[in-house]
């Protein structure tokens, strides 16, 4: 069974919209390695329509230009790209691209059961990430948390009645102050209140 891993650039106040406007000052070799770890060897991408259009408008030209990012662009171009969208009228011009067919969760279950190398990767695609988190079928959530408060724009998590518990799998701090956090779904936390928490406060006899 293959895993689905989503990677997002996010500000300290949870903004994920238009990261190209604020995250490039923090892009160093460490972040490049983190991006490559998720996307650099991928053979299947699951993308929302907005993210797909952004990628398709940039990466084919970068591959054709033959610059230092061309090998990475080629990996993305060669990968199978499955686009989640309610709008099907516009053609998908980037090679190896197709629309997701049928119910999203059924399609994801089918994808995870298919053979392939490594995880199925997601980048951006906030609405799709939310749906998969809500359904408990996103296997790993990689957040690259930037030390900046953007103060406007779409946040990663929307308001809802049901919390989503997560388990921290790994954490690293880059020289730029970016936190590289990897989470997985977790069982709900046990019921607890202040009476449980106060046992862990410092006591006079422990000073």
Mean pLDDT of 97-105: 93
CATH of region 4-206? 3.40.430.10
Q: Identify the pLDDT of residue 39.
A: 96
Q: How confident is the model at residue 204 (pLDDT cuts 50, 70, 90)?
A: confident
Q: How confident is the model at residue 172 (pLDDT cuts 50, 70, 90)?
A: very high
Q: What percent of the chain has pLDDT over 70?
A: 99
Mean pLDDT of 94-99: 96
Q: Would the pLDDT of 119 be above 90?
A: yes
Q: Which of 25-39, 75-89, 129-143 has the lowest mean pLDDT?
A: 75-89
Q: Identify the pLDDT of residue 203.
A: 80
Of 150, 194, 161, 121, the C-alpha closest to 26 is 150
Q: Would the pLDDT of 17 be above 80?
A: yes
Q: How far apart are CA 22 and CA 183, in angstroms?
A: 23
Neighbour-count burial of 35, counting CB atoms closer than 10 A to its CB (0-12 exposed, 13-18 middle, 19+ buried) = middle
- The model's pTM: 0.93
pLDDT digits (tens, 9 = 90+) for 37-93: 999 989 999 999 999 999 999 999 999 999 999 999 999 999 999 999 987 777 899
Q: The tokens of 95 are what?
A: 């090679």
SS3 labels along 167-193: EEEEEEECCCCCEEEEEEECCCCCCCC
Q: Would the pLDDT of 167 be above 80?
A: yes
Mean pLDDT of 18-34: 96
User: How many residues in total does the chain contain?
Assistant: 207
Mean pLDDT of 103-113: 94
Q: How far apart are CA 158 and CA 44, in angstroms?
A: 27
């Amino acid at each position: 069974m293959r895993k689905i891993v989503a990677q997002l650039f996010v500000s300290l106040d949870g903004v994920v919209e238009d990261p190209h406007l604020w995250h490039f000052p923090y892009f160093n070799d460490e972040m490049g390695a983190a991006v490559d770890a998720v996307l650099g060897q991928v053979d299947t991408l699951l993308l929302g329509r907005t993210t797909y259009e952004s990628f398709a408008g940039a990466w084919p030209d970068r591959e054709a230009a033959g610059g230092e990012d061309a090998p990475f662009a080629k990996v993305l171009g060669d990968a199978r790209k499955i686009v989640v969208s309610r709008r099907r009228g516009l053609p998908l011009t980037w090679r190896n691209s197709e629309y997701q067919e049928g119910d999203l969760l059924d399609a994801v279950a089918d994808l995870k059961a298919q053979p392939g190398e490594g995880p199925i990767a997601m980048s951006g695609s906030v609405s799709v990430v939310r749906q998969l988190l809500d359904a408990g079928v996103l296997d790993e959530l990689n957040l690259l948390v930037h030390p900046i408060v953007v103060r406007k724009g779409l946040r990663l998590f929307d308001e809802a009645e049901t919390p989503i518990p997560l388990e921290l799998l790994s954490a690293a701090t880059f020289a730029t102050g970016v936190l590289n956090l990897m989470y997985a779904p977790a069982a709900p936390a046990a019921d607890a209140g202040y009476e449980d928490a106060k046992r862990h406060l410092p006591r006079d006899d422990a000073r």
